[in-house]
Chains A and B, each alone.
Chain A
Amino acid sequence: MTARHGSLQQRLLRGFVGVGLVSAVVASAATIIGFLVVANQHPIGANRVGRRLTGWLPSTPSTQEVVLALTGIGFLLVALAVTTALSIAQRVLRPVGDLAHAADRMATGDLSVRLEPEGNDEIAGVARSFNVMADNLDRSVSTLQQLESTARRFAADVSHELRTPLAAMTAVTDVLSAHTPGMSAEAARATRLVVSEIGHLDRLVSDLIEISRFDAGTARLDAELVDVRAAITSSLEIRGWRGEEVQVEAQPGLTAHLDLRRFDVVVANLVGNAVKYGRPPVLVAARREGGDLVVEVTDHGPGIAQQALPHLFERFYKADAARARSDGSGLGLAIALENARLHGGDLQAGNRPGGGAVFRLTLPGEAEAGELR
Chain B
Amino acid sequence: MPQILLIEDDPHVREGLEIALRHLGHEVLARGDGEAGIAAICAYEPDVVVLDVMLPGADGFEVCRRVRAFSAVPIVMLTARSDDMDVVAGLEAGADDYLAKPVQPRVLEAKLKAVLRRVGPTTTTQPAGPVVFGDLVVDRASLVVTKGGRHLDLTPMELRLLLELAGNPGLVLSRQQLLASVWGQDYLGDSRLVDACVQRLRAKIEDVAAEPQLLRTVRGFGYRFGP
The chain A residues found within 8 Å of chain B, CB to CB, are: 160, 163-175, 178, 202, 205, 209, 213, 218-220, 222, 224-226, 230-231, 234, 238, 257, 260-261, 264, 370, 372-373
Contact = CB atoms under 8 A, between A and B. Distances in A.
Interface stretch (B14-22, B35-43, B120-128, B204-212): B14-22
B102 A163 contact: yes
Interface in B183-227: 186-188, 190-192, 220-222
A171 B103 contact: yes
Contacts of B190: 261
B13 interface: yes
B113 interface: no
Contact of A220 (B82, B84, B172): B84
A175 B109 CA distance: 13
A37 B84 CA distance: 97
B111 interface: no
A220 B17 CA distance: 30
Given A167-B16, A167-B103, A168-B10, A373 B172 contact: yes
Given A164-B13, A164-B101, A257-B220, A171 B80 contact: no
B16 A163 contact: no
Contacts of B177: 373
Contacts, number: 105
Contact of B192 (A172, A205, A219, A222): A222
Nearest to A165: B12
A171 B186 contact: no
B146 interface: no
A322 B222 CA distance: 50
B10 A164 contact: yes
Contact of B191 (A160, A166, A224, A238): A224
Given A170-B103, A234-B186, A261-B188, A160 B20 contact: no
A257 B219 CA distance: 12
Contact of A171 (B19, B82, B83): B19
Contacts of B20: 171-172, 174-175
